[in-house]
Amino acid sequence: MSRIGKKPVELPSGVTASVSGQTVEVKGPKGTRSFTATDDVTLTVEDNVVTITPRGKSKRARQQWGMSRTMVGNLVTGVTDGFKKELEINGVGYRAQMQGNTLKLQLGLSHEVNFEVPQDVTVTAPKQTEIIVEGIDEQLVGQVAANIREWRKPEPYKGKGIKYKDEYIFRKEGKKK
């Protein structure tokens, strides 16, 4: 039995959900998002609560039950609060700044990195060593943050590079003579 799937998704005030077939569409103050579930689950909306139930007792139906509930929960969170990833830049001369829709990164390379920001995501650089990625789609926010981090991953000796704010970098000791 799915412990996550059993919990219904409550819709806060200002958020509406509609189900047509296997697609649930959630509208809120930050925008509209939709999710299409597989045929292994049934979606229902009653009294500002979205309920997901499995069709049958197969293993796949039970897997899709919990996953579908989590996806619908993420839709509701996205249209109410949104998602946010914070990145930190460590290193001498490493910095970031926004210019229009382009994030300009100086990461110790021979050239400046110009990162084009996708449409549904907002990227801000409040300080030269901080980058904040925000949006209503959790997957897209995480992917954009990972793409930015990919340019210079943190290295284990001095910790230089781009890391998530809550990430711990395991440090290694350098060579000894």
> Residue 96 is part of a domain; what is its CATH number?
3.90.930.12
Same domain? For 87 and 76 the reply is no
pLDDT bracket for residue 2 (50, 70, 90): low
Same domain? For 53 and 19 the reply is yes
Does 55 map to a domain?
A: yes
Tokens of 177: 């003579």
pLDDT digits (tens, 9 = 90+) for 89-147: 999 999 999 999 999 999 999 999 999 999 999 999 999 999 999 999 999 999 999 99
Same domain? For 61 and 74 the reply is yes
| Residue that finishes a domain, picked among 32, 47, 80 | 80
Same domain? For 149 and 105 the reply is yes
Q: What is the pTM of this model?
A: 0.87
Tokens of 23: 């697609």
Same domain? For 89 and 119 the reply is yes
Same domain? For 71 and 99 the reply is no
Residue in the structure block whose two tokens are 């980058």: 131
For residues 66 and 144, give the distance between their C-alpha atoms in angstroms, rounded to a whole number. Answer: 26
Does 173 map to a domain?
A: no
Same domain? For 136 and 76 the reply is no
Are the beta carbons of 159 and 149 closer than 8 angstroms?
no
Question: Is a pLDDT exceeding 90 seen at residue 3?
Answer: no
Does 61 map to a domain?
A: yes
Q: What is the mean pLDDT of residues 149-155?
A: 94
Which domain range does residue 40 map to? Answer: 3-80
Same domain? For 43 and 110 the reply is no
Which pLDDT value is given to residue 177?
Answer: 78
Total domain count, the chain: 2
Question: Is a pLDDT exceeding 70 seen at residue 1?
Answer: no
Same domain? For 40 and 69 the reply is yes
3-class secondary structure, 38: coil
pLDDT digits (tens, 9 = 90+) for 45-82: 998 999 999 998 899 998 899 999 999 999 999 999 99
Same domain? For 59 and 88 the reply is no
